[in-house]
Each structure stands twice: as structure tokens, then as C-alpha cells.
Amino acid sequence: MFKNEMKLEFPSKSVNESFARVVVAAFASQLDPTLEELSDVKTAVSEAVTNAIIHGYEDTEGMVTLRCKIEDNKLTIEVEDNGKGIENVELARQPLYTSRPELERSGMGFTVMETFMDSVEVFSEPGKGTTVIMTKTFKSA
């Protein structure tokens, strides 16, 4: 069984979203993904990290933790913030719902993650933060 993992912490600055995306893509490349699989993962990571920055920390700054684990041909990605948390996770997962309409966000972040990944779990506690766990099994590995 092939196994590998990594952890990255970075400040919740929007410039770090593309950095996180590239790091995950480089880590996932061990699985010899197709360009489409890699694009799917990068898109989902972008959404999760952007949510942590924009919604988790709003107008403050904190740390975002990114963990990736590979077991055989399955990639698990965790994006965690210690921000304000989500009051109602089920509502937040509804397409077009946004807690920050003034930013003209589409409210499609979780929907996008669910579209591109095999599974998406969201754990959140108001005042403590949110963790999004996404998995994808690679056909090419």
C-alpha cells in the first residue's frame, strides 16, 4: 500500500489561495493524474481555501491549515480554519447561499467542491472554525 502525507500552514491572505492550489497539485501528481483530475482537485482546493479566507476569517487574519494524504490511489484533502465557524452547515451547503452577499459571491463554493470531488464533509463550530474534508480516487493511479 502506497501512503504519503503533508501539512502546510499559511496566513489567510487571498494571494495564498493560488499557492495552496499549486502545492496540492504538485502533491497529487504522485498519483499520475489526468489533466482533468488535476484540474478538478485544484478547483475544489481553490473553493475550500477561499471559503476559509473570506468566510472563516472575514476581515481579520488567521492561519489556514492544509493537509493532504494519499493512500493507494485516494487523495484526501483537509482545509481547516480557526475562524468564526458556520452557524448552519446544511444551509451553507445549499446552492446559491452566501453569508456575504455584499461581496457578490455566487454561493456555489460547496456545490463546486461536491461536483469535482468524490466526497465532501464539513465540520464546523461557531466561534471555533471549520474543517472541510474532500476525497478523490484517481482512476489513473
Catalytic residue (choose from 47, 58, 67, 90): 47
- Residue at 45: amino acid letter: V
Q: Decide if 47 is catalytic.
A: yes
Q: What is the 3-state secondary structure (H, E, C) of 70-95?
A: EECCEEEEEEEECCCCCCCHHHHCCC
Inter-helix orientation angle 16-28/35-51, to 10°: 140
Q: Decide if 73 is catalytic.
A: no
Catalytic residue (choose from 71, 78, 93, 105): 105
Q: Decide if 21 is catalytic.
A: no
Catalytic residue (choose from 16, 51, 80, 82): 51
Inter-helix orientation angle 109-116/35-51, to 10°: 150
Strand partners, 124: 130
Q: What is the 3-state secondary structure (H, E, C) of 104-131?
A: CCCCCHHHHHHHHCCEEEEEEECCCEEE
Residues belonging to the active site: 47, 51, 105
